[in-house]
Chains A and B, each alone.
Chain A
Amino acid sequence: MQQYECKKVENCFSGAHIYEYRLTIKVKEEFIEGFADSSSIKYHRNFPRPCFQVELSDGTTIKGVISDTVIRVNFPASNPQESKANFEIVLEDLLEQQQTGGRER
């Protein structure tokens, strides 16, 4: 089963490589922690709806809010398609873990 839908989104700049991923689960802290090994994480837990920003080592940034099903991912201009493919491998693994974990609980 496809675990997410992906849609390119635009901003003010023609060179942007931004995609929104609509997930089949709501994002929880465990989801963010899944990126901990290869990234820097900013997590603003005190905001009305806690939000996070994860930056991967290749410059890919992942943004979202807790309990939302949508994350926004900005891929680096240098090699966006490769970064996107790599991210989606990681994302699929994470989502699978989350769903498995969810069932176990």
Chain B
Amino acid sequence: MMPVYVNNAATSWPKAPQVGGTVASYVSGVPYHAGRSGFSGQDIPGECRNLLADLLQVKDPRQIVLGANATHALNIALHGVRWRPGAAVVTTAAEHNSVLRPLHYLSKTKGVVVHILPVDKQGRINPGEWESALTKYRPQLAVFAHASNVTGAVNDAALLARLAKQSGASTLMDASQSLGIVPVLPEVWGIDLVAFTGHKYLLGPPGTGGLYVAPELELEPVWVGGTGVQSDLDEMPLTMPTRFEAGTPNDPAVAGLSTALTWSAKNSIDDCALPTKTERLVAGLVNVGADVIIVEPPRTPVVSFTLKTWALEDVGEVLHKSFGIVCRTGLHCAPLIHTYLGTSPTGTIRFSLSRFTTDKDIDYCISAIDAIVHATV
């Protein structure tokens, strides 16, 4: 049975064409690190940075720090801030544990006061509540997810960033669930820090991701070590992006990400295709009796639902083992949002599509849920 893969919010599959081949070729080929040790070879990270800068419409590609994943990037950001005594953070209940856990750690170790705002029933931030909290708490940093990994609801990033700026806060946006399918424009929107991953909607390999750092933002390096350049210094070089890229880079995976970015630039997504597929899935699930979290556009192709007569975990196992459908059930590493979605304490079943998901795949998923809902023992 060929699996039907609807777990793209976790990691995309399939990847963009040739990604696997690129990774393999760079693993087996002679390694060169341009800019390190004086070799003049292919600048693999530099090429990837240029492609990312085009996508993000960032003027200087050196402001993009490459790393292992979004969690890595978020930690570079959150631990790199020069926290003032008694500093506050405003964030939201829609955040992933990759934000919540570092903030909890900072709260315990540095006394950072973390204010977590509620979200609406779609998992979206209410701009009015956001503005009120910014005014009330005067945070040093405002942190928010561009799109919910549970519901797919996309926030108005430009508005949230503007409100944060007006209150004097720096901004950190988690673009893990948006970059690749939703425009992400940090310099247009005035966002200081944007964390992203390469293996979800950018269609690249795992082990890739990065952090956009606004030129004017002061950030301390979290990882320190060898950089291959300026090795006579006791401290990390001041130059970007070297300051935040200690250690040997994952060149094969970065090259794979470049292949994915190049392919995506030449094969742009039909703006209507994913919303149409998502609507097809939502309508079908509702029609067979699933309790779907209805989300107004803009949204990503992530659909969460529950079934009245089945435990979530059982549905996930049955979908996987009996129907060959790969999805995810549970909290999706975003434990707080479920209070506001009415899906606490167990979470949701989540189907997340990609540009490669076919109507046939969607219809099969709907028919599987239909069979489960109406199953007789």
Contacts and interface: CB of A to CB of B under 8 A. Distances in A.
Contacts of A32: none
B1 A47 contact: no
A89 to B, nearest CB: 25
B217 interface: no
A69 to B, nearest CB: 12
B361 interface: no
Nearest to A41: B377
Interface residues of B, number: 17
Contact of B323 (A11, A48, A68): A48
Interface in A1-58: 11-12, 42-44, 46-51, 53
B377 A65 contact: no
B377 A42 contact: yes
Interface in B337-371: 347, 371
Contacts of A64: 321
A50 B1 CA distance: 14
Contacts, number: 42
Contacts of A68: 321
B149 to A, nearest CB: 13
Contact of A65 (B322, B330, B335): B322
A32 to B, nearest CB: 12
Given A11-B330, A12-B330, A12-B347, A47 B313 contact: no
Contacts of B1: 48-49
5 contacts: A43-B377, A44-B375, A48-B324, A51-B321, A65-B322
The 5 closest A-B pairs by CB, nearest first: A12-B330, A47-B322, A12-B331, A65-B321, A49-B322
Interface of B: 1, 313-314, 317-318, 321-324, 330-331, 335, 347, 371, 375-377
Given A12-B331, A44-B375, A51-B318, 18 more contacts: A44-B318, A44-B322, A44-B377, A46-B375, A47-B323, A47-B371, A48-B1, A48-B323, A49-B1, A49-B323, A49-B324, A51-B317, A51-B322, A63-B314, A63-B317, A65-B321, A65-B322, A72-B317
